Amino acid sequence: MSKKISAPLIRTARLLDLVPYLNTHQGIALKELASHFDVTPAQMSADLTTLWMCGLPGYTPLELMDLEFESGFVSIRNAPTLSKPRSITFQEGVALLLGLDLIASSLPEGRKDLLTAVVSLRQRLITILGVPIRLSVIPASSHAISAIIAQSIASQTALVIDYHSMYKDQNSKRTVMPVELYENNNNQYLRAYCFTALDYREFRVDRITTAEPTAETALIGISKPNSEKIELTITMTEPSRDVAERFALTQVAIGVPHTLASYSRQWIARSVMASGGAVRLDAPLDIRAEVAKKAQLMLDRYKAE
């Protein structure tokens, strides 16, 4: 039985099929056309009316569909022109690449065929457009790992994770008890109790390479989170945009102390050393001494060579 209405996606698919079909069936009766697409004549008339407003950019009468169906027979006059391949701009191509990236990230795991088709089309577009780098809008963190963490939080079970610490610049395997997932500055973070550090820690999800559930289910003997930050004072000794961005300084002035805070002494030491001579660490004194010692070791190595 013919349907009186059409869902938007079904109707869109039918409109895309109508143009090539009409091009090879000029003068077909409206009732026959409606029967072929399994819709009522009224629905087919509505579809043809919609096609009148479709065409190529410019959207003048020269680019719009030229249809005739008032007589009960349907003809299309400019389909061959509209069907010619159209070149796209670089901006349009980039938009297509990003759209395909989103489609690929949302495909079910079982649809390898669709993923292969998307990858093939992306590669063809990259070659045609001459895009020098791989564009992506997929979040850096893995959806699979985020799902495992969310399940662990819901079931109150621990996880064994492989984590790359940017502060220490090393990989480590840790057993953690997830507490919450949250986002900050477009990054996803896991707050959890770390059985290795015997304290609460925060992990960037995109730096977690693997996550596996364990049999641990209770927070036995775990103290409350230690949220105390380490206060530090730095002074810029020369103008540097890199330093301003690294320490999130809104006002940059030479010789003016800035008091900041961080949970990680490793981050403080590494950030100061990465800034070279553009910044001076005034406090805390123990980290200042640690930085000075490491800097002296590096200078000694240069002298030895």
Could you please state the CATH topology (level 3) that the domain comprising 8-82 is classified under.
Arc Repressor Mutant, subunit A (1.10.10)
Tokens of 143: 């959806």
Is the model's pLDDT at 40 over the cut of 60? Answer: yes
Instruction: With cut-offs at 50, 70 and 90, classify the pLDDT of residue 166.
Output: low
Q: Amino acid identity of 84? A: K
Is the model's pLDDT at 45 over the cut of 50? Answer: yes
> Which is more confidently placed, 153 or 226?
153
The Cα–Cα gap between 221 and 92 comes to 57
Is the model's pLDDT at 121 over the cut of 80? Answer: yes
Give me the residue label for tokens 């809104």.
250
Instruction: With cut-offs at 50, 70 and 90, classify the pLDDT of residue 171.
Output: confident
Query: What pLDDT shows up at residue 2?
Result: 43
Q: Which of 93, 188, 192, 203 is nearest to 146 (CA)?
A: 188
Average pLDDT, the chain: 77
CATH of 143-213, one of 2.120.10, 1.20.1260, 2.30.30, 2.60.60: 2.30.30
Is the model's pLDDT at 29 over the cut of 50? Answer: yes
Q: Which helix (H) or strand (E) holds 74?
A: strand 73-76
Query: What pLDDT shows up at residue 32?
Result: 92
Q: If you write DSSP's letter for every residue of 274-299 in order, what string do you get?
A: HTGGGEEEEE-HHHHHHHHHHHHHHH
Query: What pLDDT shows up at residue 137?
Result: 53
229-239: pLDDT as tens digits: 788 898 888 87
Query: What pLDDT shows up at residue 218?
Result: 47
Is the model's pLDDT at 141 over the cut of 80? Answer: no
Q: Are 96 and 88 in contact (CB under 8 A)?
A: yes
The ranges assigned to domains in the chain are 8-82, 90-129, 143-213, 230-304
Give me the mean pLDDT over the 169-191 stretch. 82
**Region of 117 on the Ramachandran plot (φ > 0 left; ψ -120 to 50 alpha; else beta):** alpha
Give me the residue label for tokens 């996550």.
211
